C-alpha cells in the first residue's frame, strides 16, 4: 500500500484565479494519476503523471487548463487554471503500486 | 470506451439486513477493484479481483468476479451503520493501468 497526502484539503477560490494542489507519497512510485470527482458523481481520470515525461491527458482535459508537474518519484502537482464555478469538485491523486491503486484524501475546491 | 454500470445507485437498509451491489460491463477487464469512500475522504481500496470466477471474503463482505471478467458483485451480510458509504467498482483493462469507475452505490445503514 501507500500513504498519500494532499494539500490543501480544501479551498475556496475566485473565478479566474488558479489553484495548485500538491500530492506527496511516502514511497517512490512510477505512476501517479489525477482524478476529478464532481458533486454526487464518480471519479473521472484527468491525466497520468509519470516522472521524467509529460503528463498524458484524457479526452476533454488539456494541459493549458490542468498543467501537471512530476519532479520526482514521490511528488506531483496539479494546477487548475482560470477557474470557473464548473471546476468546483474534489480533486484526487492516486498512485499505482503493484497492480493496485491507492488514493489520497482529496482536495475540495469551491469556485465562487 | 469501457463502461461500468453499478446498481443500485442508492440503497437504504436497516442494520442487520443483507445487500448486494452489482457492477456490470460489456467489456472484459483484467482486474476489478472495489472501493469505499466516506464523505470528505478519498476512496479506500477494499479488494482486487483478478481471476474469472474468483470469490474473496473480507469479514462480512463477499466479492465475486464473473467468469467472463465482465461483471462483479459485492455482498454484505448483516450490515452495520459503519458500512455506510459510497461503494465504487473500478475496472482495469486499458493501457497505462487506467481505471474505469462505475457511478457508485450510496449505501446508508440505519441503526
What confidence tens digit (pLDDT) does each residue in A90-104 have? 999 999 887 788 999
The per-residue pLDDT for B1 is 63
Mutate one of B43, B65, B97, B102 to test the A interface: name it (highest A CB count within 10 A): B43
Residues of chain B short of pLDDT 70, as ranges, are 1-2, 94-96
Query: Which candidate, A21, A45, A18, places its Cα nearest to that of A105?
Result: A21
The per-residue pLDDT for B97 is 74
Question: Which chain A residues contact residue B41 at CB under 8 A?
Answer: 105-106
Per-residue DSSP letter, B98: P
Closest CA–CA distance from residue A81 to any residue of chain B (Å): 23
Note the residue count of chain A: 112
Q: For residue A56, is it left (φ>0), alpha (ψ between -120 and 50) or beta?
A: beta
Residues of chain A short of pLDDT 50, as ranges, are none
Closest CA–CA distance from residue A44 to any residue of chain B (Å): 7
- Judge residue B56's burial from the number of C-beta atoms within 10 Å of its C-beta, 0-12 exposed, 13-18 middle, 19 or more buried: middle
Question: Which chain A residues contact residue B48 at CB under 8 A?
Answer: 99-100
The per-residue pLDDT for A54 is 86
The per-residue pLDDT for B94 is 61
Amino acid at each position: 500500500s501507500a500513504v498519500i497526502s494532499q494539500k490543501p484539503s480544501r479551498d475556496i477560490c475566485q473565478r479566474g484565479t488558479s489553484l495548485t494542489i500538491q500530492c506527496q507519497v511516502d514511497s517512490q512510485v512510477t505512476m501517479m494519476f489525477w482524478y476529478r470527482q464532481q458533486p454526487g458523481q464518480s471519479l473521472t481520470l484527468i491525466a497520468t503523471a509519470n516522472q521524467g515525461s509529460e503528463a498524458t491527458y484524457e479526452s476533454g482535459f488539456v494541459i493549458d487548463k490542468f498543467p501537471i508537474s512530476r519532479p520526482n518519484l514521490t511528488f506531483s502537482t496539479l494546477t487548475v487554471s482560470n477557474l470557473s464555478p464548473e471546476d468546483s469538485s474534489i480533486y484526487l491523486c492516486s498512485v499505482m503500486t503493484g497492480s493496485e491503486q491507492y488514493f489520497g484524501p482529496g482536495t475540495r475546491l469551491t469556485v465562487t | 470506451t469501457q463502461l461500468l454500470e453499478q446498481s443500485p445507485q442508492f440503497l437504504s437498509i436497516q442494520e442487520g439486513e443483507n445487500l448486494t451491489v452489482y457492477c456490470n460491463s460489456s467489456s472484459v477487464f483484467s482486474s476489478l477493484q472495489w472501493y469505499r469512500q466516506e464523505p470528505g475522504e478519498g476512496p479506500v481500496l477494499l479488494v482486487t479481483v483478478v481471476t474469472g470466477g474468483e470469490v474473496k471474503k473480507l469479514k462480512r463482505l463477499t466479492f465475486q468476479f464473473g467468469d467472463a471478467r465482465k461483471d462483479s458483485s459485492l455482498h454484505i451480510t448483516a450490515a452495520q451503520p459503519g458500512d455506510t458509504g459510497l461503494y465504487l467498482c473500478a475496472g482495469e483493462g486499458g493501457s497505462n493501468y487506467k481505471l474505469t469507475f462505475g457511478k457508485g452505490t450510496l449505501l446508508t445503514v440505519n441503526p
